[in-house]
Structure 1
């Protein structure tokens, strides 16, 4: 099921033909990360679309964190480049949940699991992450769970 990986390769070719330096560089980095993930471990394997999506989420998070670090160090130009790369990667990711939607999902899980305090955070986190399926970052989910359980 190499559909997403093929789409990345096709878009890379299109970006190269269109001389889009940002997209070309970003897609090359992403495809390199996908290839590295395929050969990681004891045995080479073909990644599923879900696995490729996980690599994309990880790469987007790296760009976001790097942009924050560059901005904090007063290097605005590099921070802007990292944000632009994150924007290219974001086009392949599912739309992020709004805060209200995330809060509703967490409230539903808290009610259904009978969670009563911070000791139940792991149980709630696992259930919420299953329902959210990559449409919200773990940090956002954890913050909302803490807010509702605390």
Structure 2
């Protein structure tokens, strides 16, 4: 993941693609910030895993989606467009998002894998899904589906 980001950054510099370059620099900064925070929490230098990086990228996409909505509501369409451009660059590094049917099947599989039979098992199901599908599904929309399935 880091190698892909690094190569994309170099390519953007060579091609003088300023918008892409600034977004890639934001991604690198977010990753470095998280590493620094990890170092502060423990004595050893914490190396981020690919899943950690995927979580950071997912959060960045969500932030930009919210910003784009806010800019549209405020009539600032050019800023909303810039946020959407950043989303496209960030999403290049995220795995393909699962379809609705794939998400439903993943929920069914997780429910049977952990032996969930009531709403009290929701945490187990969500944990199993997050372990297996980080970056591939939006857990904000999955949560209510799991709740409905168990409820």
TM beyond 0.5: yes
Note the residue ranges of structure 1 that are not aligned, 5 or more in a row.
Answer: none
**Alignment correspondent of 1:15:** 12
**Is contact 2:51–2:134 with CA below 8 Å preserved after alignment?**
no
**Is contact 2:23–2:90 with CA below 8 Å preserved after alignment?**
yes
Q: Which has the higher relative contact order, 1 or 2, with Cα contacts under 8 A spaced 6 or more apart?
A: 2
**Is contact 2:57–2:94 with CA below 8 Å preserved after alignment?**
yes
Number of matched residues? 147
Where in structure 1 do 4 or more consecutive aligned residues deviate above 4 Å?
A: none
Note the residue ranges of structure 2 that are not aligned, 5 or more in a row.
Answer: none
Shift of 1:121: 1.7
> Partners in 2 of 1:50 and 1:116 — Cα distance?
29
Q: How does 1:35-74 map to 2 (within 5 A)?
A: 35-41=32-38, 42=40, 43=43, 44-74=45-75
Q: CA RMSD in A?
A: 1.9
Change (3 A) 1:5 1:78: same
**Alignment correspondent of 1:123:** 124
Change (3 A) 1:131 1:6: closer
**Is contact 2:55–2:134 with CA below 8 Å preserved after alignment?**
no
